[in-house]
Chains A and B, each alone.
Chain A
Amino acid sequence: GAVVSQHPSWVICKSGTSVKIECRSLDFQATTMFWYRQFPKQSLMLMATSNEGSKATYEQGVEKDKFLINHASLTLSTLTVTSAHPEDSSFYICAVTGPYGYTFGSGTRLTVV
């Protein structure tokens, strides 16, 4: 099946700093990637759909200037949390859709202190 690598698996940062999360499709070209956010003991909420070579499509209520998504190649999408605050602390998961269906990254635990 497909292999998706997400990095880092966890990160702690200070309020006001920015954090970049990478999502790589290792064995196939992914024209579409998805970013989800998961609060403790809650479901996955779709944040945005990332399309290679074009601007991401954000879900209602998601601040595009705060959560910057770049999908510059067919194998890499990045999510940058800008000027992070404690309320941004969460579990972020990427997913790709390809020949094997949907494949998820292992997630990134972000803690903003």
Chain B
Amino acid sequence: SQQGEEDPQALSIQEGENATMNCSYKTSINNLQWYRQNSGRGLVHLILIRSNEREKHSGRLRVTLDTSKKSSSLLITASRAADTASYFCATDAGNQFYFGTGTSLTVIP
């Protein structure tokens, strides 16, 4: 299936540390997106990276994309307690996106 898979499934860090999450997928994509979900809420779009881009920044977020390895990473620098959430990658396939199972990030104050 096209569905992305995030790694690790869960991550716990101290406030101020960096958090890195990885996403692997199986087939060619046009773009890859990262989303965040606070507990019991809908997903919020964080960043979109196109297949011809290798790196993209947005504030404390840095996303990389390696199409040869079919993988992407999301780096959150100088983490805050408010960054505690689940993070999902989504890969496109025609008219829809396929979401992975997510990485649950806990930032300890």
On whether the two chains bind one another, the answer is no
